[in-house]
Amino acid sequence: MRKIIASLDIGSNTIKLIIGEFIKNSLNILCVSELPTKGVKKGLITNKEELIPVLKETFHIAEETLGVPVKEVILSIPGYYTEAIMSEGSSTITNEDHVITHQDLIRAMHAASYNKINEDTELVSIIPTRYKVNEEITNNPINMIGDKLSLKAVLITAPKNNINKFIKILEDIGIKTVDVVTSSLGDFAACANREMYSSIGAVVNIGADTTTVAIFNKGILTKAEVIELGGLSIDNDIAYIYKITKKDAHEIKENIGLATSNLASPEEKVTLTDRLGENVVINQKDLSEIIESRLEEILELVKKQINLLTKKDIAYILFTGGTTEIGDFNILLDKVFTKTHILGKIDTVGVRNNKYSSGVGIIKYYNGRLKLKNKEYSVFDLNDLEILSGAHKKVNIDENSILGKLFGYFFDS
């Protein structure tokens, strides 16, 4: 079976539906459908009637691209919704050979979550941190022989009400939510290198409305908080200072703005019409000073938030999210941070932009969970897969055309 997974990231700025396929452990993007968000603010639904048409159109675009409807998704939720709980569980090995299977592992994971979740919260993920077979500690218990499998795990939970509202709206338009994954787990899965899985660090996503700061210990999410500032704060600053629309402010930020004014040129200019109908000339140097000022404020708040979330020494600070795509952002990081900082880079063809880090990472994370549970999955059924591969299509070739004559030469003789 082809392994095709769809992720849905409902951000405050855009809704991103990504469909990817794993071929020999390599992710290939089949489709990206993206539209401006309506009816959502800072991860919460503010207007259901505005959100539903945008969601429908997002899925319609994907169907037009692929030729088959997308009916199931892995849903991304904001990392700051979540809470991490340490727990333990075990399962008795009952098969005749006492060989530990994936089903034994799943039973132990279920035991770790039993009676640990409040009624008003939802279990988002179970992340095993240590396995023990009888009294032997191991990194991988599968196929070991023993009487009992024990594990320690981190339970990731989120408010049930917040999650269920999104699930219900998707259900109303005919979309099934297969699983829910926190965006911070997606950011880590998308950008982390091997060393990060053995150290403590922070993952920072500077999005449109907010900035999420998450702490990871050996690849395990332990805490996350939100800063109520993001890329739209910069747009608001530019729009206010130059008396232009927020749309124009966003466009000039994206097109000529830099994260640091040191390398900006006063000679590079753009002329716009302000809200009073007058021409306003904006040069790159002045514009970049506005951008730099707000970004420095955000980064200083990130520093403070990391210190509040953990007292341990951290080995890295990983930055991602759409706002980190502003030119020279890495230079600003060098200016503000002394500890090891890494600018994430999404380099998969079709999604080469940090705004896709959560969506791409969620696909990778879910694929890892499938491997752990030894399960097969595809968002499409067998009939849809046949349509997707083009097996149902017949090519009509004019026998008088050059291609038709070539077919006749090879197959009629």
pLDDT score at 373? 80
| pLDDT at residue 48 is higher than 50 | yes
Average pLDDT, rounded, for the chain: 90
pLDDT in tens, 49-106: 999 999 999 999 999 999 999 999 999 988 767 788 889 999 999 988 899 999 999 9
Q: How confident is the model at residue 403 (pLDDT cuts 50, 70, 90)?
A: very low
Q: Answer yes or no: same fold for 84-157 and 231-294.
A: no
Alpha carbon 53 to chain centroid distance? 22
Nearest to 180 by CA among 73, 316, 67, 74: 74
Nearest to 240 by CA among 249, 231, 232: 249
Question: Region 304-309: what's the mean pLDDT?
Answer: 96
- The token pair at 123 is 């279990």
Beta-sheet strands, E only, within 191-251? 200-206, 211-217, 220-227
Alpha-carbon torsion 297, 302, 303, 304, what sign?
A: positive
The structure's pTM equals 0.86
DSSP state of 195: G
Question: Region 234-253: what's the mean pLDDT?
Answer: 97
> At the fourth CATH level, which superfamily is domain 231-294?
ATPase, nucleotide binding domain (3.30.420.40)
The answer to whether 188 and 278 are in contact (CB under 8 A) is no
| pLDDT at residue 7 is higher than 80 | yes
- Which residue type does 368 have? G
- The token pair at 310 is 């953990």
Domain ranges in the chain? 84-157, 231-294, 382-412
Q: How confident is the model at residue 391 (pLDDT cuts 50, 70, 90)?
A: very low
Question: Region 366-387: what's the mean pLDDT?
Answer: 86
pLDDT score at 343? 94
pLDDT score at 389? 74
HSE-CB for 175 with a 13 A CA cutoff: 26
| pLDDT at residue 246 is higher than 50 | yes
Question: Region 125-141: what's the mean pLDDT?
Answer: 89
Question: What is the distance between the alpha carbons of residues 134 and 409, in angstroms, rounded to a whole number?
Answer: 70
Q: Of how many residues is the chain composed?
A: 413
The answer to whether 38 and 47 are in contact (CB under 8 A) is yes
84-157 CATH fold: Dna Ligase; domain 1 (3.30.1490)
pLDDT score at 401? 55
Give Cα separations from 94 to 108, 131, 139, 146, 388 (angstroms).
13, 18, 21, 10, 42
Nearest to 209 by CA among 193, 227, 189, 222: 227
Q: Could you give the percent of the chain with pLDDT greater than 70?
A: 94
Residue 375: which residues within 8 A CB-CB, separation 6 or more? none
Q: How confident is the model at residue 411 (pLDDT cuts 50, 70, 90)?
A: very low
Q: Could you give the percent of the chain with pLDDT greater than 90?
A: 70
Which residue bears the tokens 């009952």? 94
